[in-house]
Structure 1
Amino acid sequence: MSAVATKPPLPSRSHPAPRAAAPAPRAAVPVVVSPMLTRLAAEHATGTLHRERGTLHLTDGQVTYAESPSAARRPVTAPGDDRPLAEGAWELYRLEALYDAAYFALAPSSVPGRFRYGAPPPPEHGGPVPVGVLERSVVRRRALLHRIWPDARADTAPLTRAPAAPGPAGTAPRSVTARQWAVLERVDGIRTAPEIARDLGRLAFHTLVDVRRLAAAGLVRPGPLRDDRAADPDITLLKRLRDALEAL
């Protein structure tokens, strides 16, 4: 007897073939600029975080005030005016100044930070800013500056004019804005971007943006870094020993 070939049965319409499951959406990766600051926020800590380039004041795990030698302190009057700042303008400027100082205070550093619990914030502190919001602001600012010009030395080194840049009595190129020209006029091989910002009465980060754009246009370039550690190679070790002793 010869075998009769049969066709395989068709799949039942009542039971369709299972579809591949859609991939699960990726969870947002939290931004961590300073693990120590993130831990203090989780602890709802109150006190002062001292870092190499600035200080952050925390109340119940949120940042209420920031200060840095590279950032100007908040004025009590409007820039270029003797009139006191209105309440709304004051709060806006307070937040801008806080983000400005925090950008420098949270800069990468080989020197460990230290936290002093219970230290009260300065009397002029305002409303708190969550640590996550502050760290995302720092990351966005770093990314913006990197897109404009990737050499971060322009933020801290003395600035010099490029050979093709016009001199102090020259005429601003068409591609240079009035704000940038005011910065370029103060580039003398000695002053840094934060020092130029202080001289102009501007927030430091806004001046960093102008400096990076001038660097991208080939008009300025960073000179040798002014770093006190160059005179003493053991200064970082000494700072670590100091921090350890203060923590006892």
Structure 2
Amino acid sequence: MPTMESVLSDLAEDRVTGALRLDEAGTVYLTDGRVTYAESPAVPRLEDLLTADDRIPAQAVRQARQAATEDRPGGERLVGQGVLTRGELEFCVLSAVLDAAYFLSGSAAHHRGFRPGDRHWLGPQWYFDVAGLSRECERRRAQLDRAWPSGELDTLPVVPLARIPAQRVVLTSLQWEVLVAADSTATPAELAHRLGRPAYSVLLAVRRLAAAGLLRVPEAGGRPGAAPAGTGTPAPAPQTPPAPQTSQTSQTPSAPPALPRRPKTTGEPRAGGEPREGAAGSAASARWLPAATGDPADVNLLIRLRNALEALT
């Protein structure tokens, strides 16, 4: 049975436009053979990410979706109405697509069919080449394995320890949200939907919390050094979870590699809507974001930027 990646590669070669529906796993939207959006029930919807913490009115997003047309998709309506800036929308779409692509990657392509011409209501915001998405999914798998080399916690309820073997721990803001929201019954995916956070980010936070000794883990196969799911050779590591350190390095990942400078262009930046009052960012701060183009270098640069920001939080 072909994988999703192989089917997408064939569609990319034919430079098609439409939607590939993968049974209950999700849907991938393409424009001229490049992925412009992906969604999956396993991850929060873009609407959930946009309206988390009431930063953006849910009614405005719902109205933009209902009024979206091919000539003026919902994303243009949101920006034009000043609900959010162009930079906010593009960065949120980037996060949502990478999130869904990770959970769709490697799945068998039991698809209900390809619907030519079908477009997502937001309209194209970024263009992702299939090979680039596959590389990013592999990088994310490797990052999860480095944090905690076992996939058992990915589908189990998150259970914080009542007492930890340390006097002080350092947490990121997302790790704090996960611990506060964990009720010993919700899985990482369920917590992501509750918090309106990308599912992969929550999953990574859970694995790092487990590595720091702050979560209850399975007795067998759930410790650092246990064999990851699908392997038979344990990774060399201590047989018990290390206690959290009191220094800042206990929860802060290593510094990311330096980002390359983007060459200057003579073209004017694409115009965006005026920022709403209290929005995270302003028109001035969003002008440095590259315009949505078909150049893979633009998308790859923004992915590296997002990874760097992720490593700092």
- TM-score w.r.t. length of structure 1: 0.65
Change (3 A) 1:35 1:161: same
Deviations 1:183-206 (A, max 9, x none): 112222321112212222222221
| Match 1:212 to one of 207, 213, 219 | 207
What is the deviation of 1:114? 4.7
Cα-to-partner distance string for 1:15-39 (whole Å, 9 max, x where unaligned) = xxxxxxxxxxxxxxxxx97222222
Match of 1:69 in 2: 41
In structure 1, the residue matched to 2:27 is 55
> Could you tell me how far 1:68 is from its partner in structure 2?
0.9
Query: For the structure 1 residues 42 and 111, does the alpha-carbon distance in structure 2 shift closer, same or farther, using more than 3 Å as the test?
Result: closer
Shift of 1:122: 1.8
The gaps in structure 2 that reach 5 residues or longer are 58-82, 219-313
The 3 A distance-change label for structure 1 pair 89 and 159 is: same
Partner of 2:187: 192
Letter matched to residue 41 of structure 1: A
Q: Secondary structure at the match of 1:158?
A: coil
1:126: which partner in 2? 124
Stretches of 4+ moved more than 4 A in 1? 76-79, 162-166
User: Quick one: distance in 1 between partners of 2:156 and 2:25?
Assistant: 14
- The aligned length equals 187
What SS does structure 2 have at the residue aligned with 1:55? strand
- 77 and 217 in structure 1: CA distance in 2 versus 1, 3 angstrom threshold: closer
Closer/same/farther in 2, CA of residues 172 and 154 from structure 1, 3 Å limit: farther
State whether structure 2 residue 197 is matched by structure 1 residue 202: yes
Alignment deviations for residues 107-126 of structure 1 (CA, whole Å, 9 cap, x no partner): x3457345314150122132
Instruction: Give the TM-score of the pair, scaled to structure 2.
Output: 0.52
Q: Deviations over 1:156-206 (max 9, x none)?
A: 33222356559xxxx994133343122112222321112212222222221
Contact 1:158-1:222 within 8 A present in 2 as well: no
Q: Give the 5 Å matches for 1:1-248.
A: 34-51=5-22, 52-75=24-47, 77=50, 79-80=52-53, 81-82=55-56, 84-106=83-105, 108-109=106-107, 112-127=110-125, 128-162=127-161, 164-165=163-164, 173-221=168-216
SS at match of 2:19: strand
Q: What amino acid does structure 1 have at the position aligned with 2:25?
A: R
Q: Which is richer in strand?
A: 1
Q: Which has the larger radius of gyration?
A: 1
Structure 1 vs Structure 2 CA RMSD: 2.9
Structure 1 residues 136-157: Cα deviation after superposition (integer angstroms, max 9, x where no partner) = 1111111111111121232333
Q: Does the 8 Å contact 1:50/1:115 carry over to 2?
A: yes
Give the Cα separation in 1 of the matches to 2:8 and 2:217. 31
Query: Which structure is richer in relative contact order (CA contacts within 8 A, separation 6 or more)?
Result: 2
Distance change (3 Å), C-alpha of 1:105 and 1:172 = farther
